Every structure is written in structure tokens, then in C-alpha cells.
Amino acid sequence: MKKIVVLLAVLSLPCFAADPGEKGFQMDVSVSGFFSPEVNQAIIKSVVENSSAEKAGIVIGDNVIAIDGCEIPGCSASTAKEALQKPAGEVVVLTMKKPDGSIYQARVTMQ
């Protein structure tokens, strides 16, 4: 329960940059820590049809192992949040691991 509360608290912080674009996917994320939470795991749980995420090859069940070079586990939740809230038109680079163990990079343009 603590993990969910911490994640919600981090994700609900105000963003002072331009409105974030849509990623085209959703993740199940687990975090640890209270004062400086870190992402332990992020698994893709849904992908929007015809989104840049789908076009980049992201599928349900893929494991995110880095967001813009910030490795998971260990990436701070605030760094991950910032990378995933870029404005429309900007790109986030995700390093992904498929269930079969193969690793690939997906360049997702925020929409």
C-alpha cells in the first residue's frame, strides 16, 4: 500500500512546464522509498492503437528497463515522471525488455 501512495503522491505533483503530451501507453509501476522514491519495475499494461508507442513496437507485457537512459530499477520517480511528461512533439527513449529476454529501444514521440 505504501508503494501505491508514494507513486500517487509523486505523479500528482504539479508540472510547471508545458502541458505533457500523451505517451500512447500505460504502465504498472512499483516504487520504493518515501523521501526519494525510486522506480523498481515498470511493465507495459496497455498500448493505444495507432500511437507512436505502438509504431515503436511497444506491446503489453514489455518491461521498461530505462527511461531516457535512467536505469530501472534505481531511477528516481521524479526523473522518470519528468521524462514521461514531455510536451507533445518531444521524444522519450525507452529501453525495453520483452518477455523472451530480448532488449530493444523504442523512441516514443509524445502526442
pLDDT in tens, 10-66: 443 333 334 566 899 999 999 999 889 999 999 999 999 999 999 999 999 999 999
For range 82-106, the mean pLDDT = 96
Rounded Cα gap, residues 36 and 53, in angstroms: 29
Rounded Cα gap, residues 52 and 47, in angstroms: 10
> Is pLDDT at 4 greater than 70 in this prediction?
no
Q: Please provide residue 8's backbone torsions phi and psi, each rounded to the nearest 5 degrees.
A: -60, -40
Q: What is the pLDDT of residue 43?
A: 97
C-beta separation of 21 from 110 below 8 A: yes
Q: Which residue has the higher pLDDT, 5 or 70?
A: 70
> Is pLDDT at 72 greater than 90 in this prediction?
yes
Which residue's entry shows cell 501512495? Answer: 5
Q: What is the pLDDT of residue 20?
A: 64
Residues 6+ apart with CB under 8 A from 49: none
Q: What is the pLDDT of residue 19?
A: 57
CATH of the structural domain 2-109, one choice from 3.30.565.10, 3.40.50.620, 3.40.50.11900, 2.30.42.10: 2.30.42.10
Parse the chain into domains and list their residue ranges.
2-109
Q: What is the pLDDT of residue 12?
A: 38
Q: What is the pLDDT of residue 11?
A: 42
Please tell me the pTM assigned to this model: 0.79
